Structure 1
Amino acid sequence: MQIRIYDDGAGRRSASGTDEVRDCLFVLGWGNRCRHENVQWLVDRLAERYRVHVAELPTHITDVEREWVTPLAEYAADLDRFHVLSHSAGGLAVAHLEADGLGNCVYLSPWWGSDYPLPAFVLGALTSLPISRPVVPFSELEADALGSLATDQQVADAPTAASPAFLGTIDRAQRRLPPARENAVAFCTLTDAIVDPRAVGHRLPADRIRLYDGGHELFSSTAREALTETVLEALERGPAGLRAADPREAQ
């Protein structure tokens, strides 16, 4: 796992004017990279308020706990109090994360459920295979599914296949999700073609969910201009920040 730090000094300016360090851990989704233009767009706005620690998840893994959650926990152990923003697969990892200093959690299209076009018995047989090579093709990670602002670089870097071992560890992590935190909120679109948005509704009440029109990646959708301030408020204030925002922003 690679973690990059973006610190232009904003993390040392608090609302009270003290020299308090304020950190945000931003855990990217499956295939997202800091070099992606739209990821950097959101990082730049986070960096106006926080020292931002951006985690790039390794792509082809066989164990969510060992390869995603544990490295995040080890890194977070060196932080004081921090808020967490996560996207997609990052949201699955963060849901399992335990850390003393963890503050508010904002999830963007968290991968808490999958809607595979396969019968359950076929999916069960597939994910039980001890194959760690990415041989199962993915066709959903395309520009239209990601968001109308998705770049050619994002599409080119998106994983095109997954291994049965990867799908199996994702399925187990989804089925073993702990209860959602009281200070957690989520942003998602009901037309998400990559993750199942129904899983968000199963875990969070409606007043802690903000819907938007767009693709899987909020930061690659035109809704980002209207909703980024709401994302920042939710990071700062938790569910209260989401409730205070004008619902018409999501239109």
Structure 2
Amino acid sequence: MQVRVYDDGAERDCLLVLGWGNRCRHENVRWLVDRLAERYRVHAVELPTHITDVRREWVAPVREYAADLDDFPILAHSAGGLTTAHLDVDGVTNRVYLSPWWGDDLPFPKAVVEALSRLPVTEPFLPTGTLEREAIGDLATEEQIRDGPDAASPAFLRTTRRAHASLPPARENAVAFCSLTDKIVDPRAIGERLPADRIRLYDGGHELFSSSARDRHIDTVLDALERGPGALS
């Protein structure tokens, strides 16, 4: 896990947990960081890509890092949303999720997924199949597409499925932004965990910050970090 801190003199902290394959060097991630940095000292977490244990390699390191922060909101995207949904740590004021990965949406039949996840293989060879510009967002750059994971291992599949199955109930201070046409995560899983009044829909790809709709929604995202679910009413 890599953490990059962006400190322009703000007094408050914000924990930003990025999604699978997102990196701070990506232009659209930096756009998001820059907007956050207008109000917060941003702690941007880059998750390792090829893992075999969600709790050990994603949740535990983020928990250990966040334990040193005081009274901070969480902004989490995709796999970051899966990670922080499992995160119990003191001081979290509000939780804002961008297209959280809370359920399987894989390009394989369920029986095939079950069989593949049992293979004792850690080498990534299963194609992800959806990480192109249309799926990510119309502003996605060539660097983002090139850096995006194009395969996963059975071990990764197994541990993420377990993490989905063991998700705790959504916290009362949680809201989510998502697209009903998301081709990377299943928006139904978001609707099953949060009531409609705590979900804000947008038109675009999996990454709000890589979609043209971002300018229409970023102020609401920032407001939700400050006020929680009340920002969507």
**2:87 pairs with 97, 101, 105, which one?**
97
What does residue 29 of structure 1 align with? 19
What does residue 145 of structure 1 align with? 135
Q: Secondary structure at the match of 2:146?
A: helix
| Distance (whole Å) between structure 1 residues aligned to residue 110 and residue 129 of structure 2 | 20
> How far does the alpha carbon of each residue in 1:159-209 deviate from its partner, in whole angstroms, 9 at most, with x for none?
010000001111000010000000000000000000000000000000000
Deviation at 1:242, TM superposition (A): 1.7
Q: Secondary structure at the match of 2:145?
A: helix
Unaligned runs of 5+ in 1: 13-21, 244-251
2:112 maps to 1:122: yes
What does residue 136 of structure 1 align with? 126
Do the aligned residues in 1 keep the contact of 2:99 with 2:177 (CA within 8 Å)? Answer: yes
Return the letter of the residue paired with 2:15: L
What does residue 39 of structure 1 align with? 29
What does residue 187 of structure 1 align with? 177
Return the letter of the residue paired with 1:217: E
Q: Secondary structure at the match of 2:224?
A: helix
What does residue 3 of structure 2 align with? 3
| Distance (whole Å) between structure 1 residues aligned to residue 199 and residue 84 of structure 2 | 17
Deviation at 1:138, TM superposition (A): 1.5
Deviation at 1:121, TM superposition (A): 2.0
Identity over the aligned pairs, expressed in percent? 70
Find runs of 4+ consecutive structure 1 residues off by over 4 angstroms.
none
| Distance (whole Å) between structure 1 residues aligned to residue 97 and residue 31 of structure 2 | 17
Return the letter of the residue paired with 1:99: V
Q: TM-score, normalised by structure 2?
A: 0.99
| Distance (whole Å) between structure 1 residues aligned to residue 21 and residue 98 of structure 2 | 15
**What are the equivalent positions in structure 2 for 1:23-102 lying under 5 Å apart?**
23-102=13-92
Q: RMSD over aligned Cα, in angstroms?
A: 0.7
Do the aligned residues in 1 keep the contact of 2:107 with 2:128 (CA within 8 Å)? Answer: no
What does residue 99 of structure 2 align with? 109
| Distance (whole Å) between structure 2 residues aligned to residue 188 and residue 104 of structure 1 | 17
> How far does the alpha carbon of each residue in 1:84-131 deviate from its partner, in whole angstroms, 9 at most, with x for none?
000000000000001011110000000001222333222111001110
Q: TM-score, normalised by structure 1?
A: 0.92
Unaligned runs of 5+ in 2: none
Q: Secondary structure at the match of 2:177?
A: strand
**2:160 pairs with 142, 166, 170, which one?**
170
Return the letter of the residue paired with 1:118: F
Q: Which has the larger radius of gyration?
A: 1
- How many residues get paired? 233
Q: Secondary structure at the match of 2:138?
A: coil
